[in-house]
Copies of this chain bind each other. A is one copy, B any other.
Amino acid sequence: MAKLLLGKEVADALSEELKARVQQLEEQGITPTLAVVRVGENAGDLSYEKGAMKRAQQLGVQVRQVHLPEDTAAERLLETMDELNADAALHGVLLFRPLPEHLRSRESEICNRLDPQKDVDGMTDLSAAGVYTGQALGFPPCTAAACMEILDHYGIETVGKKVVVMGRSLVIGRPAALMLMHRHATITVIHTRTEDPMAYIPYADILICAAGVKDLITAGMVRPGQVVLDVSMNYDPDKITSGGRGGMVGDCAFSQVEPIVGAITPVPGGVGAVTNTVLMKHVIQAAQQA
């Protein structure tokens, strides 16, 4: 039976710390403020926005919703970024991505228009440079930072540990690997082009799953003592939940892996439950640095 690494526990503990920091800011007459920029009506974005609004309210972070129609032109979005950059009362900006299809070719230009000091979800090149070099330039992507919060909260040692990261995306695999390297872990990054990727799994002291493939990790691959952070959110039409059939699962076949390993994040209720609190942490940090 693994220790369950529960996102709610991590988020609650972090929230207590953040409330104190918000109060200090309020005493200086500063309300930490986040702009959420959404182009169109993507269901996943709407759901994340709702969760973020709720979390912000609990912590005393103000949220400005900037909703733009699906057919917004790139120039209009660039102007929006300029306005948000110029607004000194605003500390952080979250832009939902991927952008609608017609904006895709200019996505990098649009992301990089944002002032890195307000880049609370790590979408600018300067934030990326910070993750890579280990400097505080901009902010890391919230999901990768949420993994670090979980390790910190549960006192999981990273120095000298073998870490296997599954996936090399810029939102999770690559930043998690670099952030763990800065914490003195020995990192291996496996991905779609890796030969015999599952052969690496047994060697990991800490396993970061971000492959996006359900039932990828099964009983025969894991061993006692391993720490598993399952970041993926895959839809499983057969999962039985309180709401009936169909639900989210990670990359691990949970019922097989959980009885063997030392600690594991459930899906849902693991890494995903920490992400929006980390977003607020970044907004508060940006407000303190402004």
**Chain A residues proximal to chain B, CB less than 8 Å:** 108, 125-126, 128-133, 135, 137, 159-162, 168, 170, 174, 178, 181, 184, 186-191, 193-195, 197, 200
Contact = CB atoms under 8 A, between A and B. Distances in A.
Contact of A133 (B128, B162, B187, B194): B128
A193 B157 CA distance: 13
> Which A-B residue pairs are the 8 nearest by beta carbons?
A132-B132, A184-B193, A125-B129, A129-B129, A188-B188, A160-B195, A186-B194, A128-B129
9 contacts: A108-B135, A125-B126, A125-B130, A125-B135, A126-B126, A126-B129, A181-B189, A186-B194, A187-B188
A72 to B, nearest CB: 24
Contact of A194 (B160, B170, B193): B160
Contacts of A193: 159-160, 184, 186
A116 to B, nearest CB: 10
B170 A133 contact: yes
A174 B197 CA distance: 22
Contact of A132 (B131, B189, B190, B195): B131
Contacts of A186: 188-191, 193-195, 197, 200
B184 A187 contact: no
A210 to B, nearest CB: 14
Contacts of A130: 125
A23 B159 CA distance: 52
A239 to B, nearest CB: 31
Contacts of A162: 195
A132 B174 contact: yes
Given A160-B193, A181-B191, A187-B189, 16 more contacts: A108-B135, A125-B126, A125-B133, A125-B135, A125-B137, A126-B129, A128-B133, A129-B129, A132-B132, A168-B181, A181-B189, A186-B190, A186-B194, A186-B195, A186-B200, A187-B188
